[in-house]
Amino acid sequence: MNYFKHLESNFFTAVESLDTLGAMNSSPTPAISALSLTKRFRPELPPAVENLSFEILPGESVAFLGPNGAGKSTTIKLLCGILVPDLGSAAILGKPAGTPDANRHLGLVFGARSQLYFHMTVRECLELQAETYFVNRETAKLRIPKLAEIFGAGPLLGRRVRELSLGERMRCEIVTSLVHQPKVILLDEPTIGLDVIAKLGLRESLRTWRKEENTTLLLTSHDLTDVEALCDRCILVNHGKKAFDGKLSEARRAFGDRRKIHLTLSEPCPAELSLPMNIERKNSESAYELNLEFDPKLIPLPVVFDWISTRLGTKIADIQMGQTGLEEAIRKHYELGAR
């Protein structure tokens, strides 16, 4: 009897597996997939990455976030074959990570590591990079000016890399990583050290490129304005484990979708102000300003406005309202995780 029960159970498991296989075949091959990735550098230390699994579909733009030492860079290195996992596996477009087949489809940008040669002109560097990825010379000659145009690097092509500013060099770095039209780009802190204008320009160019090429993008950055400008989804890691995987808007909600109210007053605000429960007073620059923060799920907006108008009504000179940014939300999440 037991034997038949075992047989029956095996049969249903097999049918389920076939169903899963069918479903997998009908869905597109993920651009990036990580399955139970685990990497430990020293036996006495906790793993840098532990049982990390995720899939990124072609055309998706995903931020890979986490505090320092969370395992972001280790994961990126595992995905491009620089490191080998102790357990689990990773694939790029279905090809095992680290193999030449997978690497041909990868574009890499490391903000802290240049891929350009300082003694050569930008054009020479780009041509060499194209050849590194087996792009023939004719194709490269056509592609380089087009790409340089998108990233505003056209006038830089004839200049030596050592003569470029950091912002100009980063634009060229990104063009270098795209010259072979990779289907997947891994960007590790691409805007590190750039000023606001250079960052904006770079993000805009990357957005244009993505729209045209439908490239999959995996971005790690400590600058969450990069993330908000370029990504739709985020994967949050902490202590080597996945802490969140979902849309950016969901991340904001999950980690505290709070509202901020900034009041400018005609008289100094009392130092001691009795606030209703669930409204926090935040630091302000002068006594004539009052900053409040609250979670609309915990205290309804009319209640907040009612309190403001009752307590401060005639003293209000100006009022501004906003939402806490992703950066703040994630910082809070890290802080909670650290406790």
Binding site for other proteins (CB under 8 A): 41-42, 48, 74, 77, 80-84, 98, 100, 103-104, 106, 108, 110, 113, 115, 117, 119-120, 124, 128, 131-134, 160, 162
Q: Which is nearer to other proteins, 160 or 203 (CB)?
A: 160
Buried b / exposed e along 86-111 (16+ C-beta atoms within 10 A):
eebebbbbeeebbeeebbbbbbbbbb
Q: Which is nearer to other proteins, 64 or 110 (CB)?
A: 110
> Dihedral (C-alpha) 145, 109, 77, 44: value to the nearest 10 degrees?
170
Q: Measure the CA–CA gap between 233 and 187, rounded to whole angstroms.
A: 15
Residue 202's alpha-carbon distances to 54, 59, 112, 243, in angstroms, are 27, 19, 16, 29
Q: Which residues pair with 220 in a beta bridge?
A: 188
Type of residue found at 257: D
Least CB distance from residue 77 to other proteins, whole Å?
Answer: 7
Per the document, the length of the chain is 339
Least CB distance from residue 38 to other proteins, whole Å?
Answer: 13
Q: Which is nearer to other proteins, 48 or 251 (CB)?
A: 48
Task: Give just the sign of the alpha carbon dihedral 65, 71, 76, 79.
Answer: negative
Q: Which is nearer to other proteins, 143 or 258 (CB)?
A: 143
Least CB distance from residue 165 to other proteins, whole Å?
Answer: 19
Q: Which is nearer to other proteins, 62 or 106 (CB)?
A: 106
Least CB distance from residue 60 to other proteins, whole Å?
Answer: 20
Residue 10's alpha-carbon distances to 13, 20, 22, in angstroms, are 5, 15, 18
Main-chain phi, psi angles of 252, to 5 degrees:
-60, -45
Least CB distance from residue 159 to other proteins, whole Å?
Answer: 12
Q: Measure the CA–CA gap between 116 and 173, rounded to whole angstroms.
A: 7
Helix (H, G, I), strand (E, B) or coil at 84: coil
Q: Which is nearer to other proteins, 119 or 146 (CB)?
A: 119
Q: Measure the CA–CA gap between 185 and 113, rounded to whole angstroms.
A: 15
Least CB distance from residue 240 to other proteins, whole Å?
Answer: 13
Residues 6 or more apart in contact with residue 59 via CB below 8 angstroms: 31, 214, 215, 216
Q: Which is nearer to other proteins, 80 or 156 (CB)?
A: 80
Q: Which is nearer to other proteins, 81 or 337 (CB)?
A: 81
Least CB distance from residue 173 to other proteins, whole Å?
Answer: 12
Least CB distance from residue 109 to other proteins, whole Å?
Answer: 11
Token readout for 142 is 């056509």
